[in-house]
Chains A and B, each alone.
Chain A
Amino acid sequence: MGLIKEIDYGTPQAKSEKQVTLTIDGFAVTVPEGTSVMRAAMEAGIKVPKLCATDMVDAFGSCRLCLIEIEGRNGTPSSCTTPVAEGLVVRTQTERLKTLRKGVMELYISDHPLDCLTCAANGDCELQDMAGAVGLRDVRYGYEGDNHVSAKSRDGGNDNFRWMPKDESNPYFTYDPSKCIVCSRCVRACEEVQGTFALTIEGRGFDSRVSPGMHEDFLSSDCVSCGACVQACPTATLTEKSVIEIGQPEHSVVTTCAYCGVGCSFKAEMRGDELVRMVPWKDGKANRGHSCVKGRFAWGYATHQDRILNPMIREKISDPWREVTWDEAFAHVASEFKRIQSQYGRGSVGGITSSRCTNEETYLVQKLVRQGFGNNNVDTCARVCHSPTGYGLGQTFGTSAGTQDFDSVEHTDVAIVIGANPAAGHPVFASRLKKRLRQGAKLIVIDPRRTETVRAPHVEAAYHLALQPGTNVAVITSLAHVIVTEGLFDEAFIREKCDWSEFEDYAQFVADPSHSPEATEAYTGVPADALRGAARLYARGVNGSIYYGLGVTEHSQGSTTVMAIANLAMLTGNIGRPGVGVNPLRGQNNVQGSCDMGSFPHELPGYRHISGDAARETFEMLWGVKLDHEPGLRIPNMLDAAVQGSFKGIYIQGEDILQSDPDTKHVSAGLAAMECVVVQDLFLNETANYAHVFLPGSTFLEKDGTFTNAERRINRVRKVMAPRNGYADWEVTQGIAQAMEIDWNYTHPSQIMDEIAATTPSFARVSYALLEELGSVQWPCNEQAPNGTPVMHVDGFVRGKGKFIRTEYIPTDEKTGPRFPLLLTTGRILSQYNVGAQTRRTENVVWHAEDVLEIHPHDAEQRGIREGDWVRLASRAGETALRATITDRVAPGVVYTTFHHPETQANVITTDYSDWATNCPEYKVTAVQVSPSNGPSDWQVEYDALSRRSRRIVPRDAAE
């Protein structure tokens, strides 16, 4: 095991089909047209010295170190900016070049500190490498002249006005201007890769320096801390603080980010079993070498002091926790669940799988429920986010997943983003989308709020349809109305791939004047001409794609909206090739996987309904039990049944339903009514306040497994350190099963994957060996698609013919009125993740210390609310208090907040209304009132006290 060193080819890969052959130092090289001479040389194994070029950004040609000679041409062009041409004869090492390069290096070094021995980049510095490469032995200029290196001028006394102090404002990296060689790699990375444009080169010539924003520090600039500039920097100027503290890593392991559904691949760079830094992996097919602040930097929670490392038990939730051994804990859980089932019936217990855990782990939890508990009461947090996606796409296309890979965005011409804010929720995808938009693709945003996605540097949506929360179906059906009535649909596609009579029925339905934009404008708030413009733009674009998020699904008509989106894509023939498709942006890292693995109470792995005899028999044969053919309870149904007294025990792996699920008071009442609540997590989360057994969980750094991202891509998670709690999460579930005398004997997660492949047709060919070979693979991966399926429905739909479904808009029952005149909608921000259990335990809190309520100036003024005031936020479900911020990002009548902090408990406000088909809660629409307040509500104060009380722990030795 060593450090994985990726080759830097100096300039990005050229995409041309046409090949060109040239000679470099006597070797013939054949590369695609458009490749730089530098890259061609590297492909031939010849490394031309370079400083300002790196293959993550376009060449700039400023350092003049990469000079070459070309036969028949004058001068010494830079190889990074010179494209290859047929028959070129190139020399990279001549006497003239050697002298020139030495001269260049001499100049650089004369304005660079010589503290290499104590420098954090020692051993990983390209300036150092180049000094060695060109054979620099002495520097004639001395260090007395003008420089940026020392704070005082050399002759003593006076301040050196060129010198700038270190900027340590960013919690994760430092900027030391004295070491900057002004190669502008950071500036280009911020622009081209990240798309934030936070950095500039300030000043000219010798005076120039890198600057965040208008001479700001990093923290107060527009920087979103993605780290691309740090990765691009060839010197110690931009350096991870962890490297400064620990030193250079010595080995690395490729693994997958455990935060969001983009599923970025990283090299975990280690020194021993200490993580030094995470560096995005260039070969990662989801992220192509990029990352966001969470994946790259926010992993400190793994060693946070709040982590619980010993299992704990208590009889009543008012008791303090008592630490026990793992064996005691397993035996206790097993005997409690058995007792409850014999007392209250087989259906009185259930489990919740985690979208943060691996496929193998979720598979085992649903297996424990179906095989061990003998019922189907298993659900997952996808219930509260993307369950309508599964249902809606299943009905229309025949598979419960997105149709494309992320690379597809590079081929799109018009992208519609609905109810998603990728810049905050799926940052690496956002960067890739913005890159495409800067190349000229068009963007349509459908969202009540003017999100960062609507306008970013050098990117602006052609249309922003700022609809009233809750009117998605009306707006999308109206788009279809325009496409149908103006004859913009793709008849050839529909005739070939869809059911024509269903299309006719649907066309007749949407063509009704009641669905025209002029008619819907009254209640959606979207101007008719903007809606018509957007419909035409999407329908006429060559490749039109749709990306959507929770703003689509978390509504009482969430499933209907997903169908409406699918209709739109079929109508315009935007399915089945790169650049198009319907793409749900999945929230958590493995929410796709947890759904694939049979986490729903009505479905076995691979989305096979539990009532199907064939699928059930596959598992019955293997597991040696009879499976229940009735669907089980979904999370909200479990809580209802608990309140009603027929549901008494639950095993929750890696979810915090008390904080993440709607109508907190109903959730807590449900939990409080149970006799055995088992919570498995890294920290004592909010749900654990109501738990009787706590089983410590492990982080993604501590186990092997796989995550499946939003593109259906199965990525490997690799263990880089031993679990601090003693067991990986899959081993904990196995411990419970064994204590229940179920015969499980897995010794490695690869065996669990083998079982999944053996039982689930869409995973038939998946194995750890295959993943090792291909890096990752997108399901379906089987006989028909041995290397997986980047784009789905290419030769027709999985269900046969694409199905058009009528999508009638039905307003939600959640309506504003005199008592609750405003609509609350919820969302997320970049630096925090989900309920924040992990990100709140990292330095990311500098960007988001608390949840705040966004309110329009008009609504604020009416209520006498000023910026930063405490306000009371009340709905029919409950009330809470938080601070307000006044902004016109939200429309009058709409307020907005995030739900990352337990103190705010935004879900005290949300109601138990839900999607008609899946019970996915209606988070995105709650009628509320906002009024001035002095501070936290009584409920928040009480809850805080309860949390403190229920987190008391009696250590094991103390009890002896």
Chain B
Amino acid sequence: MSHEEAGASSPHAKIVRMANQIGAFFRSKPHDEGVAGVAEHINKFWEPRMRRQLFEVVDSGGTGLAPLVLEASSVIRRPTAEQERTPPA
């Protein structure tokens, strides 16, 4: 991947990059622990909008996502639409 493609130009490219970075850290763990680690990390730190973008990539075939991240996506919480759009209480 060249630098230009990795830039901020496309939101999905950036999300893929960030997810793969997390995946890379957990690669050195035993496999199951790694999958759980990726999912837990994303659940804990990613706002629903970011998780939605991740699922957009996953749902359209997961192009570019590391296998560990793809595998973890089944345990990542899918954000609900209403979470993002609810007006203030």
| Chain A residues with a Cβ under 8 A of chain B | 338, 341-342, 345-347, 373-374, 376-377, 509, 556, 559-560, 601-602, 609, 611, 625-626, 630-634, 637, 640-641, 643-644, 646, 663, 666, 806-808, 810, 813, 876-877, 911-912, 914, 916-919
Contacts and interface: CB of A to CB of B under 8 A. Distances in A.
A330 B84 CA distance: 27
B21 A916 contact: yes
B45 to A, nearest CB: 6
Interface in B34-89: 41, 43-50, 79, 83-89
Contacts of B25: 559-560, 808, 810, 916-917
Nearest to B14: A640
A631 B47 contact: yes
B88 A373 contact: yes
B44 A611 contact: yes
Interface residues of B, number: 34
Interface of B: 1, 3-4, 6-8, 11, 14, 17-18, 21-22, 24-25, 27-29, 41, 43-50, 79, 83-89
A602 B84 CA distance: 16
A625 B89 contact: yes
Closest 9 CB pairs of A and B: A916-B21, A808-B28, A345-B85, A806-B28, A876-B3, A633-B47, A341-B88, A346-B86, A374-B88
Contact of B18 (A559, A646, A807, A919): A919
Given A631-B46, A632-B47, A640-B14, A347 B84 contact: yes
B8 A666 contact: yes
B68 to A, nearest CB: 13
A917 B22 contact: yes
A806 B29 contact: yes
Nearest to B50: A637
Contact of A342 (B7, B41, B87): B87
A633 B17 CA distance: 17
Contacts of B4: 876
11 contacts: A338-B88, A601-B47, A611-B43, A646-B49, A646-B84, A666-B8, A807-B28, A810-B24, A813-B17, A916-B22, A918-B45
A631 to B, nearest CB: 6
B21 A556 contact: yes
B47 A630 contact: yes
Given A346-B86, A644-B11, 7 more contacts: A345-B84, A559-B25, A602-B45, A611-B43, A625-B89, A634-B47, A640-B11
B50 to A, nearest CB: 6
B12 to A, nearest CB: 11
A346 B49 CA distance: 12
A360 B36 CA distance: 37
A646 B52 CA distance: 13
A914 B11 CA distance: 15
A626 B89 contact: yes
Contacts of B21: 556, 916
Contact of B7 (A509, A560, A876, A918): A876
Contacts of B1: 813
A912 B46 CA distance: 17
Contacts of A914: 18
A919 B19 CA distance: 11
A345 B22 contact: no
A641 B24 contact: no
Do most interface residues of chain A lie in helix, strand or loop, or is the interface mixed? Answer: loop
Contacts of A602: 44-45
Given A806-B29, A917-B22, A631 B44 contact: yes
Contacts of B18: 914, 916, 919
Contacts of B8: 640, 643, 663, 666, 912
Contacts of A377: 47
Nearest to B51: A630
Contacts of A807: 28
A559 B25 CA distance: 10
Contacts of B44: 602, 609, 611, 631
A643 B8 CA distance: 10
A663 B11 CA distance: 16
Contacts of B85: 345-346
Given A876-B4, A876-B7, A345 B48 contact: no
A560 B37 CA distance: 14
A949 B88 CA distance: 36
Nearest to B4: A876
Contacts of B47: 347, 376-377, 601, 630-634, 637
A139 to B, nearest CB: 75
A807 B28 CA distance: 8
Given A374-B89, A806-B28, A813-B6, A917 B48 contact: no
A573 B49 CA distance: 43
Contacts of B41: 917
A374 B87 CA distance: 9
A298 B46 CA distance: 40
B64 to A, nearest CB: 13
A806 B26 CA distance: 9
B4 to A, nearest CB: 7
Nearest to B30: A505
Contacts of B28: 509, 806-808
Contacts of B24: 808, 810, 916
Contacts of B50: 633, 637
B49 to A, nearest CB: 6
A663 B8 CA distance: 10
Nearest to B48: A630
Contacts of A626: 89
A808 B34 CA distance: 13
Contacts of A509: 28
A377 B43 CA distance: 16
Contacts of A609: 44
Contacts of A345: 84-87
A374 B25 CA distance: 33
A374 B88 CA distance: 6
B59 to A, nearest CB: 18
A477 to B, nearest CB: 11
Nearest to A666: B8
Contacts of A633: 47, 49-50
A33 B84 CA distance: 69
Contacts of B79: 630
Contacts of A640: 8, 11, 14
Most interface-central of A342, A602, A807 (chain B CB within 10 A):
A602
B27 A912 contact: no
A912 B3 CA distance: 11
Contacts of B43: 611
B26 to A, nearest CB: 10
Contacts of B27: 808
A663 B1 CA distance: 20
Contacts of B3: 813, 876
Contacts of B88: 338, 341-342, 346, 373-374
A912 B48 CA distance: 21
A918 B25 CA distance: 13
B83 to A, nearest CB: 6
A638 to B, nearest CB: 9
Nearest to A877: B7
B86 to A, nearest CB: 5
